[in-house]
Amino acid sequence: RTHRIAVIPGDGIGVETVPEGIKALDAVAANHDFELEYTEYDFASANYWLKHGKMLPDNWFDELKGYDAIFFGAVGAPDVVPDHVSLWGSLLKFRRGFDQYANVRPVRLLPGIKSPLAGRLPGDIDFYVVRENTEGEYSSVGGIMFPETDREIVMQETVMTRTGVDRILKYAFELAESRERKHLTSATKSNGISISMPYWDERVKEMSAKYPDISVDKFHIDILTANFVLHPDWFDVVVASNLFGDILSDLGPACTGTIGVAPSGNINPERIYPSLFEPVHGSAPDIVGKGIANPVGQIWSASMMLNHLGEHAAGAAILEGIERVLTRGGDALTPDLGGSGTTISLGAEIATEISVA
């Protein structure tokens, strides 16, 4: 079988890490019973924007919709394009257009990486953040009244739909069901946000009745962030609205060492449209061109992509390759992990590890 992949490196270190992800994919495909066919695109980048005055071609939807998955680097070049323009003009269009309503981020302390949380070992931190990815606080409903006067009023509404809330909760409950601990935590703030968040709580309660074997708890977002740091071992699957999930899914990976290793999937669970896999990190303008970007987040994203495509043995083989190289440690690692390796040398080491397995 052949999986057709759209490859979009984007900006900054995305251009450096994506080829390392491809190296790992090629290495694992060589040992398994499937082929990968890549088509690379130059859009969703500052260069494309400079040339065309927009982030994507008008036909992006039809161009991409037939792929089995999208393998994405990062977008953002704040000196060239304002961040809200680059993000809303590309990645957010993909997420919404392709109904990738589940943003899934594993938070797992890998062997060989020191957690910034004192005394935490691999095994102590192993959970998922499931973020609603299409509605909630990130809506365009709102506006400015009486602009540039003393009466200026700025409003931006949260939009929750029953369909939107229920489907992300269902996704999270199903994920919890597939795991050993069968525990789900809901992020809320129903004490302060008095309309939408009580609604969210109510939907969680209703959904939980359908999953009697899953234990459920909830925390307000403020104490929840504290508990991520103080008690990361409490969590198994954490489900959250768009904004809360955004915050938690950066904080989670930060608790497991460098942001450079964290992967994510933007999933369309119904598989009507392609899902998109990308590292959690952005384009890192401060280190671009130095060759020191950690490629592990990109390579782990490749592993998640293969799992989504049903290639579970291959997905596991990539993650095992990453873990063995990290466990060996030493100079091969990139500077963010204390080594002196480069994006390319660490990527090559992981690809070799995958090949010999």
Contact residues: ligand NAI, CB under 6 A: 13, 74-76, 78, 83, 87, 91, 259-260, 278, 281-287, 293-294, 297, 336
Q: Answer whether 33's CB lies under 8 Å from 314's CB.
A: no
Residue 1 CB, nearest distance to ligand NAI (Å)? 29
Residue 250 CB, nearest distance to Mg ion (Å)? 5
In the complex with ligand NAI, which residue's Cβ is closer, 176 or 261?
261
Q: Which of residues 214-273 bind Mg ion (CB under 5 A)?
A: 246
DSSP letters, 19-36, are: HHHHHHHHHHHHTTT-EE
DSSP helix/strand/coil, 79: coil
Q: Residue 178: which region, alpha, beta or left (left: phi > 0; alpha: psi -120 to 50)?
A: alpha
Residue 280 CB, nearest distance to ligand NAI (Å)? 7
Q: Whole-angstrom Cα distance, residue 67 to residue 274? A: 6
In the complex with ligand NAI, which residue's Cβ is closer, 25 or 169?
25
Residue 6 CB, nearest distance to ligand NAI (Å)? 15
253 interface partner picked from Mg ion, ligand NAI, none, CB below 5 to 8 A per type: none
Q: Nearest to Mg ion by Cβ — which residue?
A: 246
Q: Answer whether 87's CB lies under 8 Å from 282's CB.
A: no
What proportions of the chain, in percent to the nearest 5, are helix, strand and coil?
40, 20, 40
Q: Whole-angstrom Cα distance, residue 29 to residue 69? A: 16
In the complex with ligand NAI, which residue's Cβ is closer, 68 or 278?
278
74 interface partner picked from Mg ion, ligand NAI, none, CB below 5 to 8 A per type: ligand NAI
Residue 12 CB, nearest distance to ligand NAI (Å)? 6
Residue 189 CB, nearest distance to ligand NAI (Å)? 23
204 interface partner picked from ligand NAI, Mg ion, none, CB below 5 to 8 A per type: none
Q: Whole-angstrom Cα distance, residue 16 to residue 339? A: 18
Residue 295 CB, nearest distance to ligand NAI (Å)? 7
353 interface partner picked from Mg ion, ligand NAI, none, CB below 5 to 8 A per type: none
In the complex with ligand NAI, which residue's Cβ is closer, 6 or 204?
6
Q: Where are the beta strands (DSSP E) in the chain?
A: 2-10, 35-40, 69-74, 102-108, 126-132, 142-145, 153-156, 183-188, 215-220, 237-240, 263-267, 275-279
Give the Cα-Cα-Cα angle 80, 85, 87 (nearest 5 degrees).
105
287 interface partner picked from Mg ion, ligand NAI, none, CB below 5 to 8 A per type: ligand NAI
In the complex with ligand NAI, which residue's Cβ is closer, 29 or 280?
280
- φ/ψ of residue 29, rounded to 5: -65, -35
Residue 343 CB, nearest distance to ligand NAI (Å)? 8
293 interface partner picked from ligand NAI, Mg ion, none, CB below 5 to 8 A per type: ligand NAI
In the complex with ligand NAI, which residue's Cβ is closer, 90 or 186?
90
Q: Answer whether 137's CB lies under 8 Å from 158's CB.
A: yes
In the complex with ligand NAI, which residue's Cβ is closer, 82 or 147?
82
291 interface partner picked from ligand NAI, Mg ion, none, CB below 5 to 8 A per type: none
Residue 281 CB, nearest distance to ligand NAI (Å)? 3
Which pairing describes strands 142-145 and 153-156: parallel, antiparallel, or unpaired? antiparallel
DSSP letters, 97-133, are: HTT--EEEEEEE--TT---SSTT--TTT-EEEEEEE-
Which pairing describes strands 183-188 and 215-220: parallel, antiparallel, or unpaired? parallel
Q: Answer whether 308's CB lies under 8 Å from 83's CB.
A: no
In the complex with Mg ion, which residue's Cβ is closer, 232 or 245?
245
In the complex with ligand NAI, which residue's Cβ is closer, 260 or 321?
260
Binding residues (CB under 5 A) for Mg ion: these are 246
